[in-house]
Amino acid sequence: MSSCTASGFCFQRLLAPSAASEVTDFPPLSRPGRETSTGRRARTGGKLTGWYIRLQNCTSCYIKGESSWEETRVHRQQDPASTTVRVGLIGRGIQKSRTPGMHEAEGQAQGMTYRYDLFDTAAGTPDDLAGILDRAEAGGYAGLNVTYPYKRAVMALLDTLSPNAERVGAVNTVVFRNGRRQGHNTDAWGFAEGFRRGLPGAGLDRVLLLGAGGAGGAVAHALVDLGARQLLIRDTARPAAEALVASINAHAGAETARVTEDGVAEADGIVNATPVGMLALPGTPLDPSALSPRHWVADIVYVPLATALLTAAAARGCRVLSGEGMAVFQAVRAFELFTGRPADPERMRATFHRLGAAGEVQA
């Protein structure tokens, strides 16, 4: 229930308090990445039974705040033990992502009513990241996955970050729980798990990483965790490469990573963490003629699975790893974060393959 005043303010009632409830104002809220608002609290016998949020010049009522006195949000988040789960994905150009299908099929296999929605800012969803989070949280979502181009921007809108998300500097999974927004990064673990299974025994003395964006950061930290002794980081935007080098060296020790303009000749293996090779951006991120059989080559692109880079590398005798593992295992970990239940990786992998029709995009 909501009522808008002539002054342009709007009150939306989330939970109906009794007629005897005391309704009083509380101080304005000011939080990085969110609107400043003034709200009303409804209490019955000293117990919180409902919240009103006032937004200036609103066109739709958003629900926001915390469970504390200063910032107040009704706890409509999903019970982790619930058999009804609603989650979603925020991104741009994600209509054919395989992630919703993997989650929904796994939820159904575990006896859940599992709904996975898309918030695609290239397909009608307003490009308002804060508003999307507010509406999803208010609507009882268990959480949201986040993909390009929002993995870094979303961090300012969260209450806490997991150690992994803070270290990587990007979030791809947001969990709504106990009135708080928790940011996680499952990409790093997803890549590492896929690498362990797909390229056992691969040399890790020197690894060339192509791409220093949000995905590149996750891959870089995963490679360090896997035992890489030195990372050579290459990006067309040198400042991005330098920032990632600084992050890696701060966590893993000086000289662990450095910027390079080439790096192929001195590397044991190469990882493509750029979008080059996707259906929408065909090609290779380096000259395949520089590859030799001593190299292993991994690509995080998964549509197509056989990218031009991997096809050329295999033809030159290299061991190769597609983006399948990272795509599946990041979803495995996100499912567990959303539901509190472990997922079956092989079942999710089978779904991934069933959804592998030509023309799909990744997220």
Catalytic residues, which ones?
A: 151
- CB burial of 84-107 (b: ≥16 within 10 Å; e: otherwise) equals ebbbbbbbbbbebbbbbbbbbbbb
212 annotated ligand-binding residue = yes
267 annotated ligand-binding residue = no
143 annotated ligand-binding residue = no
307 annotated ligand-binding residue = no
Residue at token pair 């050329």: 312
68 annotated ligand-binding residue = no
CA distance 208 to 228: 10
194 annotated ligand-binding residue = no
56 annotated ligand-binding residue = no
211 annotated ligand-binding residue = yes
CA distance 356 to 363: 13
283 annotated ligand-binding residue = no
CA distance 283 to 70: 52
214 annotated ligand-binding residue = yes
240 annotated ligand-binding residue = no
Measuring CA to CA, how many Å separate 159 from each of 31, 94, 96, 156, 265? 10, 26, 30, 8, 44
Q: Which helix H or strand E contains 115, and what residues bound it?
A: strand 113-120
What does 268-326 look like in DSSP terms, one character per residue? Answer: SEEEE-SSTTBTTB-S-SS-GGG--TT-EEEE---SSSS-HHHHHHHHTT-EEE-THHH
302 annotated ligand-binding residue = yes
- Which residues carry a binding-site annotation for shikimate? 97-99, 147, 172, 187, 302, 330
Q: Binding site, residues?
A: 97-99, 147, 172, 187, 211-215, 300, 302, 323, 330
Annotated binding site for NADP(+): 211-215, 300, 323
